[in-house]
Amino acid sequence: MYTLGIWDGHDSGAALIEGSKIVYAANEERFTKRKLEVKFPVHSINAALAYAGLKHSEIENVAFTTTEISKTVERVFPFFKEEYYLLRRRKRPRPRFEHVLHKRKYLVTQVGVLPLCNQISKSQVSRSLRSMGFRNFSLNVVEHHTAHAATAAFTSGLKKSLVVTLDGLGDGLCGSVSILENGKLERRLGIAARDSLGVFFEQVTTLLGMRELEDEGKVMAMACYSYPYSYEENLLKDFFKVVGTSIRARYGPWTQYDMLRNVLFRLPKEQFAYMAQQALENVLLKYVSNLIDRFSITDVVFAGGVFANIKANMYIRKLEHLKRWYIFPHMGDGGIALGSALYSNYMKTGETDYRFSAYLGNDYGEEETESAVKSDRSLQYQKQSLQEQASHAAELLGNGNYLMWFQGRMEYGPRALGNRSIISASDSVDTRERLNIYVKKREWFQPFAPSILEEDVPKILDYDGKGLDKFMTMGYMTRESKRDITRAVTHVDGSARPHMVGDENPGYLELLKKVKKSTGDGIVLNTSFNLHGFPIVMTPEDAVSIMKATKTKHMFINGLFVTNRGGV
């Protein structure tokens, strides 16, 4: 039996599961080309069904999530959702009373689920599905943090774990703690939306002139450029306190916004970012530590947007009594379509154990790829085996080139993991700068991340031999002795956000092995195949268009080596 999970809010998307298999998962942004799309996920739903060869009428079980009042209003009046999206992404002029608008948002979104909203949301989603051709289906509502929890709990491979979720907010909560044990997932704690660490960091992002719900990672990166402060000197240290297993915000979101603004007025931006990051890390460390003590479970899994913060995750990883950990790779709301499907299926069948692969999206055959490449006369191409591609790519990287690498199924989640990647040598700062100027156009303080052969992880990173973080969800320090080879992928504080590569991606693995053969280390710089501010590419046509727009010279795409005559 198939279960379709859908999410129609921030970073909307769809996921399809069958039994204990995740068949397909993708987000709407890849289809509409609007980053973190908010529209009803028509394209992702259709793509999921097309991938499995199913008709709409064959789906009997659909799950969706989040029926709080603000989400329900958006379902009835999608105009509000669209306007907020355009404003948030700076596609609208700055409104006169921006600060008031920001504060008002939190008053509405903090309200939890009301029975009437649940009914209205259900009928709106049902109507949208019927208009797509769905007929005899049961529609299940999954609570927001339950959906987040299911993603981490059911894909970690651990039979017993403490499941922690923290985000901005959803369904009246900003966090939850559950236990997975004996095939049962049970909620133990909820954290009220008012006490949200996610909202705190979101407000810091907004006040720094960046886009909330999108640029929080930039705040984390910027913080590393500040003079260090002791925690005692941190002007934000009293904004939150941890009492046992609860987190308490000193101010409600409305007041907090003003208080943060007052602090920012006194500081350079990077120092404000530093204080916010340090405050977040301290609260998280204490909280997770207290949870482990209280529940006496040392294997902990995490989901929710707060755990996109790889620096905070790095400190959590170092907690002495934490044994094993897992951070669900699509930790933000983009992952809750899958979470809804997983939880709904668990309620029906009791299934709690899924093998997670990051490669869950669309793929394209050689014919489709060749036709996309052929359509442009300035592109030359030749067919190559995977072995030939790996050798050739390694040689080009060694000669100071960056290149596009497009293979197989699209990654699920925010990171490119070797199937829709742009790569260059990990030791060449010069190539990294060219890549940034011609292709990525990111802020100067954002670091690039490495892909590293699993076997080389211990010698390159401060790896302690516990588990593997395969999906760029965890911070590690690069070893001093390897700073020559990690020059272009180490942040100013010595940290990196690694993608650890094993046999789950044979083509990319082969490429890293070839790089290792010539340099001695299996490591490359890996950044997502997109233009800054746009989603990662999905189709070969997308890839060709970005290759042209960025004047990139070389691309390896599904068995073809493509050269752009107009490349630089």
3-class SS shares of the chain: helix, strand, coil, % to 5: 45, 20, 35
Binding to Fe ion in span 170-229, by CB under 5 A: 170
| Both tokens assigned to 252 | 């409600």
- Complex with Fe ion: residue 211 or 482, whichever CB lies closer: 211
Task: Round to whole Å and give the CA distance between 102 and 254.
Answer: 9
Report H helices in 62-97.
69-76, 78-88
**In the complex, what is the shortest distance from the CB of residue 165 to Fe ion, in angstroms, rounded to a whole number?**
8
335 binds Fe ion (CB under 5 A): no
Polymer length of the chain: 568
- Complex with Fe ion: residue 224 or 284, whichever CB lies closer: 284
CB atoms within 10 A of CB 533: 12
**In the complex, what is the shortest distance from the CB of residue 304 to Fe ion, in angstroms, rounded to a whole number?**
6
**Residues in binding contact with Fe ion, number by CB under 5 A:** 3
CB 102 within 8 A of CB 205: no
Looking at 53-61, 331-339, 417-425, 462-470, which segment touches Fe ion (CB under 5 A)?
Answer: 331-339
**In the complex, what is the shortest distance from the CB of residue 167 to Fe ion, in angstroms, rounded to a whole number?**
4
**In the complex, what is the shortest distance from the CB of residue 10 to Fe ion, in angstroms, rounded to a whole number?**
8
Shortest Cβ contact with Fe ion: which residue?
167
CB atoms within 10 A of CB 540: 24
**In the complex, what is the shortest distance from the CB of residue 204 to Fe ion, in angstroms, rounded to a whole number?**
18
Looking at 159-167, 271-279, 447-455, 489-497, which segment touches Fe ion (CB under 5 A)?
Answer: 159-167
State which of residues 195, 215, 333, 411 lies at the interface with Fe ion (CB under 5 A): 333
CA 7 from centre of chain: 15
Geometric angle at alpha carbon 548, from 471 and 422, rounded to 5°: 20
- Complex with Fe ion: residue 37 or 333, whichever CB lies closer: 333
**In the complex, what is the shortest distance from the CB of residue 35 to Fe ion, in angstroms, rounded to a whole number?**
17
**In the complex, what is the shortest distance from the CB of residue 563 to Fe ion, in angstroms, rounded to a whole number?**
43
State which of residues 8, 11, 68, 167 lies at the interface with Fe ion (CB under 5 A): 167
- Complex with Fe ion: residue 167 or 216, whichever CB lies closer: 167
| Both tokens assigned to 109 | 């979104």
- SS3 sequence of 491-546: CCCCEECCEEECCCCHHHHHHHHHHHHHHCCCEEEEEECCCCCCCCCCCHHHHHHH
**In the complex, what is the shortest distance from the CB of residue 333 to Fe ion, in angstroms, rounded to a whole number?**
4
- Complex with Fe ion: residue 35 or 392, whichever CB lies closer: 35
**In the complex, what is the shortest distance from the CB of residue 525 to Fe ion, in angstroms, rounded to a whole number?**
30
Residue written as tokens 């894909």? 155
CB 538 within 8 A of CB 31: yes
- Complex with Fe ion: residue 339 or 408, whichever CB lies closer: 339
- Complex with Fe ion: residue 109 or 234, whichever CB lies closer: 109
Cβ within 8 Å of residue 368, ≥6 positions away: 540
Cβ within 8 Å of residue 516, ≥6 positions away: 453, 456, 522, 523
Cβ within 8 Å of residue 476, ≥6 positions away: 314, 461, 462, 463, 469, 495, 496, 497, 498
**In the complex, what is the shortest distance from the CB of residue 366 to Fe ion, in angstroms, rounded to a whole number?**
39
At 53, phi and psi to the nearest 5? 65, 40
Residue written as tokens 């491979």? 157
**In the complex, what is the shortest distance from the CB of residue 147 to Fe ion, in angstroms, rounded to a whole number?**
8
- Complex with Fe ion: residue 169 or 185, whichever CB lies closer: 169
DSSP symbol at 89: T
| Beta-sheet pairing, 379-383 with 2-7 | unpaired
Looking at 329-337, 356-364, 505-513, 525-533, which segment touches Fe ion (CB under 5 A)?
Answer: 329-337
Looking at 83-91, 162-170, 213-221, 248-256, which segment touches Fe ion (CB under 5 A)?
Answer: 162-170
| Both tokens assigned to 342 | 């997983």
- Complex with Fe ion: residue 108 or 243, whichever CB lies closer: 108
Task: Round to whole Å and give the CA distance between 567 and 551.
Answer: 4
Looking at 100-108, 160-168, 417-425, 466-474, which segment touches Fe ion (CB under 5 A)?
Answer: 160-168
- Complex with Fe ion: residue 216 or 521, whichever CB lies closer: 216
| Both tokens assigned to 274 | 């530093």
Looking at 17-25, 73-81, 169-177, 323-331, which segment touches Fe ion (CB under 5 A)?
Answer: 169-177
- Complex with Fe ion: residue 172 or 408, whichever CB lies closer: 172
Closest CA to 117 of 70, 182, 177: 70
Residues lying near Fe ion in the complex (CB under 5 A): 167, 170, 333
